[in-house]
Homo-oligomer: A and B are copies of this chain.
Amino acid sequence: MKLLQDRIIEDGNVKSGNVLKVDNFLNHQMDIELFNEIGKEFKRIFSECSINKILTIEASGIGIACITAQYFNAPVVFAKKAQSINIDGDVYSTKIESFTHKKTYDVIVSKKFISPEDRVLIIDDFLANGCALAGLIDIVRSAGATVEGIGIVIEKGFQNGGDIIRNMGVRLESLAIVESMDAENGTIEFR
């Protein structure tokens, strides 16, 4: 997606440790106009799928998932990290290791919100090592529901998450795949 790649080049910031900061438009400040273009693109890509539910994970996936959901006329469910007194005992849970926070989370979705007849589109902002996605796929499959596809805004192509998820037999579409990036001179190459 050219518009997105241009924006990453313009506003993205490459930091050491394979960190790509896009916090001024994607995951801290959020450019809602851009999110609408992203949502339209996901709809175009997955137009032939009969998606009736969108699943994401808190926190930075929620905004993109909600804007995208408008193009599918589907509700959004977001997976929650760790325990909350507001969650019923009846949940699907999985463990996810966060690349960003360097720790392991329990991630849960209430069983009420995923059923065997659901055809789910999973949406997230980033794909790096694939742990978050693998956990969400696990939750959908535990419910007996179908993963119709996965839509990612930015995939770090130089990490192995993309390969892991594609090898699970799931259709994964990333709007921008970063092939390589260089913290020293700030360059970003796309696949």
- Residues on A lying within 8 angstroms of B by beta carbon are 17, 19, 21, 23-25, 27-33, 35-36, 58-59, 62-63, 65-67, 69-70, 73-78, 80, 84-87, 100-102, 109-110, 112-113
Contacts and interface: CB of A to CB of B under 8 A. Distances in A.
Nearest to A55: B29
A78 B59 contact: yes
Contacts of A74: 32
A54 to B, nearest CB: 9
A76 to B, nearest CB: 5
B80 A28 contact: yes
Given A28-B113, A66-B67, A80-B28, A19 B86 contact: yes
Q: How many copies does the complex hold?
A: 2
A29 B59 CA distance: 14
Nearest to A108: B28
A30 B77 contact: yes
B28 A77 contact: yes
17 contacts: A23-B86, A23-B110, A23-B112, A28-B77, A28-B78, A28-B80, A28-B109, A28-B113, A29-B110, A30-B75, A30-B76, A36-B70, A59-B59, A62-B62, A67-B67, A84-B101, A86-B100
A75 B7 CA distance: 15
Contact of A58 (B23, B58, B66, B77): B58
B80 A59 contact: yes
A8 to B, nearest CB: 15
